[in-house]
Chains A and B, each alone.
Chain A
């Protein structure tokens, strides 16, 4: 029992930075939705207008799900909070479970634990208890945000529960993926694919009336069906609970039966040499990253097609002055036209490509902390060449993603007879790059200056900047604070003109940061874990 407690405490402490930042996000988003709604739609007429023009809009449903009541604060918040935070909750659950199980095992620490007087069952259950405690933290944070906003306690608690419920399912999925895959990387890939599928199903169900039943096969849909503040259906809670328990039971059974350090999916450990992409350190880095690059392409490509398909669904009628004001604050004054909608959606590709850049920084740092960098740099490989090569790979990957987004969104729109040109859409894709590359360069600088914290800093920066751009405007904060976010300087191409000056400034800053990063990296020690 003492051992179990020690393991659980260790696991909780390992994840505390991530849990704390997600909790902050949950609390803030919940709070901002409440105050933002009351601020933007003070009168019943505003709310009716809003419901009228947005309630049935497929593109809006794509992001937030199906609204059930847009006339009350609770109904609105339930819709918005549920739509966004459920995805984050699922992501957190996946990351937390894989971190607690597979990462430990891959590092060989699980073996140490099991070599002590600890049973296999305990070694599985104790970290899961810690993860469950993390779910409670997230729930508390969301609840606190709602309560501070002034919503009723009981319903708020239920909404917060609905919001974190996908985390339970994805903890189970992460635990199962950790049994299937022998490496953290593959486990996360399995889990991410499952999350992508869950999201895709929810989007299809929410935007296609003939396929609404699909909402019942995705954990993100279950959360919607709990309908906090809009005629609660607490019975639905059984679904995520059952799914989570079932997944965990299966995972535990596998964990008990397999060798420590192995996964259930057999990996072929022997093969004739394949000598492609070994001609330089950069080529070899591409060899290692090409699988994940393909995953990013598939994910971004899928959403680009969907955005294209849905680009003409905004109704042009019934827009009151207040609505237009609200849209303007979102930067989407022209969102009612297809090209306006596309311009708005592409803001999400800035985020996605920014996150891709974060992943590149994390990969850089992992190469160093695993000390493979030491092996590499003790060969005749220069530091500048190594970092420059990695930078070039990240830039080229970003460009590929941006252009793929433009191309596929154009293709999706074309099938709907929407008149946007291919060059315009490729331009919309390219328009994502300056802000994303600025994040990349800042990440490199962090890698050079504070290597151990670099991945966390970069992910944190991108998330905060995005949330700030999306919700900061609802808070009536001074304009210069909004200007701080690079997202604020992205013109909504193709509807708005390309903001050439802003893009040039961001690229110049990025270049300066990247050069600074290379200079500093040349002069620092190579630091391991």
Chain B
């Protein structure tokens, strides 16, 4: 399978700050890739390098096999970008903005655009300067989605959108995926990433600390097992890969990061009333990386 995005050893240094540290990244065609990381992790930096807006300090980035820095125009013919903040032309109305961006892009799916305008409830006769921030964000989104570009690069596209519009956005990304478009989605909204993305990468201080499908990430991370006993919980003693904490008068909570067998064996003679096991939420995986990330564990 050919890749929509390919980065090799991609690094960017701003003065003393190493904003991106030797990133290796592959996003396959047709994939929806979630890009996560705390503030200042280097997500926007990555995107600027993918767009050829900033010059890599080392390494290279390719979009559909086209070098992002050397030949940005060819690369941009195949992608559409939604910036984290909507920087548009204040004196143009939305309709004029769509027309302008479509002309520069070399065309847009006008029928789909009308559908999106309807879906996102945009007043296209209003000048951009009179639009609220969320509405300006929607103008960007509609322009990008209507371009039907092979790759959508979205940097926190839903910041400022209300929940209804968030649903409209998800629907649109699903449609893009169905059409075989690739989506690179940088986001802080974990439920959104969980709902949309096939694969997730977690960035921390310029390094990719974890990557994989959501399922794979879950398997690699700790399960939470909660056990309720008839009366006073037993001493479980030290168990490899299990962290035990008290969770009330008659309950224990265990964080199991390896196989669950040893814990089950240790419970064999205990009088267990109830046992629940659940996979970690993306939020827990995420927080785990943010807290312990400096060790670089994956």
* A280 and B125 contacting across the interface, CB-CB below 8 Å: no
* Residues in B whose Cβ lies below 8 Å from that of A325: none
Main secondary structure of the interface of A (DSSP, over half): loop
- Select which of B73, B89, B105, B106 is within 8 A of A284 by beta carbon: B89
85-127 of chain B: CB within 8 A of chain A: 85, 87-89, 91, 93, 95-96, 99-101, 103-106, 123-127
B99:A273 contact, CB within 8 angstroms: yes
Write out the residue numbers on chain B whose beta carbons fall within 8 Å of the beta carbon of A525. 48, 53-55
Do residues B54 and A372 form an inter-chain contact, with CB atoms below 8 A?
A: no
- CA–CA, A370 and B89, complex, Å: 10
A270 touches B93 (CB 8 A): yes
| Least CB distance, A185 to chain B, in whole angstroms | 10
A384 to B, closest residue via Cβ: B73
Closest chain B CB from A529 CB (angstroms): 11
Classify chain B: how many residues form its interface, as a range: 35 or more
- Is B51 part of the contact surface with A, judged by Cβ < 8 Å? yes
**Contact indicator B101/A379 (Cβ below 8 Å):** yes
Q: Which positions 271-292 of chain A face chain B at CB distance < 8 Å?
A: 271-275, 278-281, 284, 288
CB B155 to nearest CB in A, in angstroms, measures 10
**Cα distance, A371 to B140, chains bound together (Å):** 14
For A524, list chain B residues within 8 Å (CB).
55
> How near does chain B come to A5, taking the closest CB pair, in angstroms?
32
With a CB–CB cut-off of 8 A, which chain A residues contact B161?
A: none
- Would you call B99 and A271 a contact (CB within 8 A)? no
B104 and A273: CB pair below 8 A? no
Contact A269 B53 (CB under 8 A): no
Given A274-B96, A525-B54, the answer on whether A380 and B77 have CB atoms closer than 8 Å is yes
Is the C-beta of A136 less than 8 angstroms from some C-beta in chain B? no
Q: Count A interface residues, CB 8 Å.
A: 31
> Does the CB pair B89–A288 fall under 8 Å?
yes
Docked-complex contact A270 and B125, CB < 8 angstroms: yes
A-side contacts of B219, CB under 8 Å? none
Q: A269-B130, A279-B103, A381-B73 are in contact. Are A374 and B96 (CB under 8 A)?
A: no
For residue B189, give the distance in angstroms from its CB to the closest CB of chain A: 22
CB atoms of B53 and A374 under 8 A apart: yes
Q: Is B160 in contact with chain A by the CB < 8 A criterion?
A: no
A526–B53 alpha-carbon span in the complex (Å): 6
> Which among A278, A376, A523 has the greatest number of chain B C-beta atoms within 10 A?
A278
CA distance A284 to B77 in the complex (A): 19
Assess whether A295 is interfacial by the CB under 8 Å rule. Answer: no
* Complex contact B55–A523 (CB within 8 A): yes
- Known A-B contacts A378-B51, A380-B104, A524-B55; A371 and B127 likewise in contact (beta carbons under 8 Å): no
Residue B169 lies at the interface, judged by CB distance under 8 Å to chain A: no
Residue of B nearest to A381 (CB): B104
Measured between alpha carbons, how far is A375 from B52 in the docked complex, in Å? Answer: 12
Given A275-B96, A381-B73, A374:B127 Cβ within 8 A: no
Q: A380-B104, A382-B72 are in contact. Are A375 and B51 (CB under 8 A)?
A: no
| Chain A interface (Cβ < 8 Å from any Cβ of B) | 183, 269-275, 278-281, 284, 288, 370-372, 374-383, 523-526
Residues of B within 8 A of A (CB): 48, 51-55, 72-74, 76-77, 81, 83, 85, 87-89, 91, 93, 95-96, 99-101, 103-106, 123-127, 129-130
A-B contact pairs, 30 of them (CB 8 A): A269-B130, A270-B123, A270-B125, A270-B126, A271-B93, A273-B95, A275-B96, A278-B99, A281-B104, A372-B88, A372-B89, A374-B83, A375-B88, A377-B51, A377-B52, A377-B53, A378-B53, A378-B76, A378-B81, A379-B101, A379-B105, A380-B73, A381-B73, A381-B76, A381-B104, A382-B72, A523-B55, A524-B55, A525-B48, A525-B55
